[in-house]
Amino acid sequence: GLVEDRVEAARAAGTLDLGIETIRAEKVVLLSDSLLRTDPVIGAETLLLRLELHRRPPITNWAALQLICKNTDNIAWLRNARSGRVALRMPTWPGQDDDGKWIERCYLIRPSGQLRMDRAALKASHWSEIEPDAFQVFWEGEVAEATENLMVETITMATGLLLPIWHKLPEDDVRVWRIDDGVGGSILGRIIHPAAVERIQREFGLDGATALGPDEIIDGARSVGGVSIPGLGPARLARVHVNDSARLEIRDYRPEDRTWLKACGAFSEVVAFKTRIFLPPDRACDILARIMAERS
């Protein structure tokens, strides 16, 4: 997601600042606003906003990449045979699976983004090593392409008088962010991770007021317990580890929905004598969009 990408990039570059961060956008579109609270004394409001951000991607040029990987061992110059995109592989801290087992991970830096990835998943993917000279040519080509395009991302933000409801907001990320709209205005508040939006709405009696998009649901799946899928009743999307690889699993689905989910593009696999439903990672967004469109 937007926040995670910025934090990972700053940490890799050694410039992580835990104070107020500013996100600069070319344009900010207000999609919806929901009232969380009105102060009984001063009348100040606390709002939950859905914002569409049009922004320049955080581009890492070739010179900056050299500084990031300087004096770092165990790096690799990678190119994806399917997409043609390139990424620099760097070491990062390990993760844990659902059973507490440590999982080796790596950090992939791309010209306009970053992500952490399980080593096993990387090995089974379309990424492979190429020569540094060829990598530089592809990298600089992607940088040139990225500078011409705007990224569009939707976020949920709590803004206004936050102190009275601070204890009800997620505790895993308490930073305050400033959204600069590019024309002199700004919005100050707490960005709510997709996985926490459902709980926040329930806390304030706003069940269903905000529907997450497919990208946000996939982002929210990384949290403990995953995130609900609109239109699928109790079903939730969760990121799990099965056979040493990361998967996107639809949990708690209704048995009568299994055949329909597979027709939408999901696939089933028997794990420990139980049939489980997963989404192929390269098509997860499209499949979720279809599920939500047909069940909304």
* Dihedral (CA of 182, 45, 193, 213) sign: negative
Q: Is the pLDDT of residue 165 over 90?
A: yes
Q: Are residues 143 and 62 in contact, defined by beta-carbon separation less than 8 angstroms?
A: yes
4 confidence band (pLDDT: 50, 70, 90): low
- Verdict on whether the full-model pTM lies above 0.75: no
Domain range list for the chain:
62-146, 211-296
Share of the chain above pLDDT 70, in %: 92
Confidence tier at 211 by pLDDT (50, 70, 90): confident
For the record, the structure tokens of 241 come out as 């580890």
Question: Rounded to whole angstroms, how far apart are CA atoms 180 and 23?
Answer: 6
pLDDT over 90 (residue 246): no
State the CB neighbour count (10 A cutoff) for residue 221.
26
Q: pLDDT tens, 111-133?
A: 988 888 888 888 878 899 999 99
User: Is 258 a residue whose pLDDT tops 60?
Assistant: yes
Supply the pLDDT for residue 20: 79
Q: What is the mean pLDDT of residues 27-39?
A: 94
Q: How far apart are CA 296 and CA 208, in angstroms?
A: 12
* Average pLDDT of the chain to the nearest whole number: 88
Who's near 55: CB < 8 A, 6+ residues apart? 23, 24, 25, 26, 150, 151, 153
Closest by Cα among 167, 208, 173, 211 to 192: 173
For every residue of 47-108, DSSP letters joined together read EEEEEEEEE------HHHHHHHHTT--S-EEEEETTT--EEEEEE---EE-TTS-EE-EEEE
